[in-house]
């Protein structure tokens, strides 16, 4: 930017007053003010468009990085490991199956097991007497 001191501005005003004259000086200053306003508006518009282009370029770079990460999928191995069972298939617990009579039967492929009958539970009386 042009560096003007007060002495330089005073010299320019005196020369303008002598050259243009006191009658036309306000009109000249008004015209110069309009030109400076238009120049500032154009500079601001240029700056905004340049900032928008730089933001768009940054967004394009970020989109490219995100797409590269999506295509690369660095966590695929971890995802497969998470879906594997914790226990090996031969060490999986056998869940008892309830038959129609209410007895629990254990399903075991290694040998034939007898059905396990449920054990009746007797509630203790509240007054401290032993059950009959």
Give the DSSP letter string of 16-74.
HHHHH-TTTHHHHHHHHHHHHHHHHHHHHHHHHHHHHHHHHHHHHHHHHHHHHHHHH-T
Full pLDDT tens readout for the chain, 132 residues: 577 789 998 998 888 889 988 898 889 889 999 999 999 999 999 999 999 999 999 999 999 998 888 887 767 777 777 777 777 767 666 666 665 665 555 554 555 555 666 666 555 555 656 555
Of 28, 2, 3, which Cα lies nearest the Cα of 15? 28
């Amino acid at each position: 930017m042009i560096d003007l001191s007060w002495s330089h501005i005073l010299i320019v005003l005196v020369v303008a007053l002598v050259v243009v004259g006191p009658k036309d000086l306000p009109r000249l200053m008004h015209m110069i003010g309009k030109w400076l306003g238009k120049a500032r508006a154009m500079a601001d518009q240029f700056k905004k468009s340049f900032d928008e282009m730089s933001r768009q370029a940054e967004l394009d770079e970020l989109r490219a990085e995100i797409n590269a990460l999506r295509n690369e999928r660095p966590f695929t191995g971890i995802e497969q490991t998470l879906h594997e069972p914790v226990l090996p298939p031969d060490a999986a617990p056998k869940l008892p199956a309830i038959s129609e009579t209410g007895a629990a039967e254990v399903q075991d492929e290694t040998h034939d097991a007898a059905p396990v009958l449920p054990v009746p539970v007797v509630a203790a009386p509240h007054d401290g007497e032993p059950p009959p």
